[in-house]
Amino acid sequence: MASDRSSYALKDIQDLLYHRAPWCVSIYLPTHKTGEDQQQDRIRLKNHCKQVQHELTKTGISSTEASHILEPVDDYLADPDNRLYMDEGLAIFLAPRLARFVRLPAVPQEISVVSRSFHITPLLRMAHFQHPFYILCLSRARARLYLCDYSGTQDITPRQIPSPEQALMIDNDEKGMQFREGAPGAQAGKPGSYHGQGSDERDAPERTGEYFHAVNNYVRPLLKQPVPLITAGIPQERSLYREANSYPLLLENGIDENPFDMSEKKLYRRGLEIVKNLFLQKKDREAQEFVRRQGKNPDGITKNVEHAISLAREGNVRSLFVAEERHLWGRYDAENFQIERHTDRQPGDIDLSDVASVETLRQGGEVYAIGEAGIPEGWDLAALKRY
């Protein structure tokens, strides 16, 4: 049996979307951090398992076999390394020879579903968590760089990043200043003296600014992904770094706090809030563009889910709006690109709006979940074309 206990990525969503089996179990559960709530999380999960067991027996599976199907959940709860409170939620996917436990970065709606396919819509509603970003932690004494994505933070600080003292030596050398280790008063293992105009007259902000110039030069080659860079530090130091920065995607908003007094998880959450706000701002702009195209450029949008899937596969959907609680049932053959639409759900059906969403994300587009009122009457969804 394949078992995966990790955060989710787009590939997870895609694999789950197209998985078919006689039975597929999906459980979504919010999780908590305090002791009493943690215990309640375990109780609620066990209650969901009882409900799932009942649903499985309705499909003709014996109670004994249904209990066996849910054994991976018991194993998960029994393993002390698996703490339900590690993230905001937990999703569990069970099928023949498959058991996947996915930590969620946002609180999901609590639900359990037994079907011939997995219920992945809640994962798609967290699409903005797919966007990676950088966090650069700054102080006048040190710097640290993180790459953040759906799985958390990764420290990618270059080993050769200079200390403030080394940065000033480099800066002085570049200005033609001479460093003399044998100057009067120098001791072994201690810096010598600088000779050159202004070496002793620079105030703290100027020295910090020079240090940040060196930091920028060292971290800039590591910023290979075209994603936002968030700075974390006291406002004055963030402002000084902005003057030294050469990375075009540095955000104006940042974390105005000493990052070296914060845990990596807190840094990640603070950065995620900033990225989420960017996502919501872009959502509003795209919604305005959708309204504009309705009146002036109707050929730039589509309302049909089959057409949206075709456009998304070609990379021609820049933004997709789907109704949160609406399901568009049907069959989808990705290899032969055949779509069969059904009015009501039939055995083996898939939600075609989920297909359109996954294909849009796979090609670098954005997916926005909105209320029913945001989709015009008679429309399946709303897709904005790239070209």
Taking the C-alpha atoms of residue 338 and residue 327, their distance in angstroms, rounded to an integer, is 19
What pLDDT does residue 186 have?
39
Name residues whose C-beta falls within 8 Å of residue 370's C-beta, 6 or more positions apart in sequence. Answer: 287, 321, 322, 323, 324
| CATH class of domain segment(s) 130-276 | alpha beta
What pLDDT does residue 192 have?
41
pTM, full prediction:
0.71
Taking the C-alpha atoms of residue 105 and residue 152, their distance in angstroms, rounded to an integer, is 9
What pLDDT does residue 129 have?
66
What pLDDT does residue 179 have?
40
Show me where the domains of the chain are located. 2-124, 130-276, 297-385
Encode the chain (387 residues) as per-residue pLDDT tens digits: 544 445 566 677 878 888 888 899 999 999 887 767 778 888 999 999 999 999 999 888 999 999 999 999 999 888 876 665 556 889 999 999 899 998 887 788 898 989 888 888 888 777 666 688 999 999 998 999 999 987 778 999 988 787 777 766 655 555 544 444 444 443 433 444 434 444 445 578 888 999 999 999 999 999 999 999 999 999 999 999 999 999 999 999 999 999 999 999 899 989 989 998 998 899 999 999 999 999 899 999 999 999 999 999 999 999 999 987 788 999 999 888 999 999 998 877 888 998 999 899 889 899 998 888 889 889 999 999 999
Cβ–Cβ < 8 Å for 48, 90: no
Taking the C-alpha atoms of residue 22 and residue 73, their distance in angstroms, rounded to an integer, is 19
Residue pointed to by tokens 């000493």: 258
CA neighbor of 126 nearest in space, from 98, 102, 154: 102
> Architecture of 2-124 per CATH?
2-Layer Sandwich (3.30)
Q: What is the SS3 assignment for 145? A: strand
- Strands 2-7 and 98-104 turn out to be parallel
| CATH class of domain segment(s) 297-385 | alpha beta
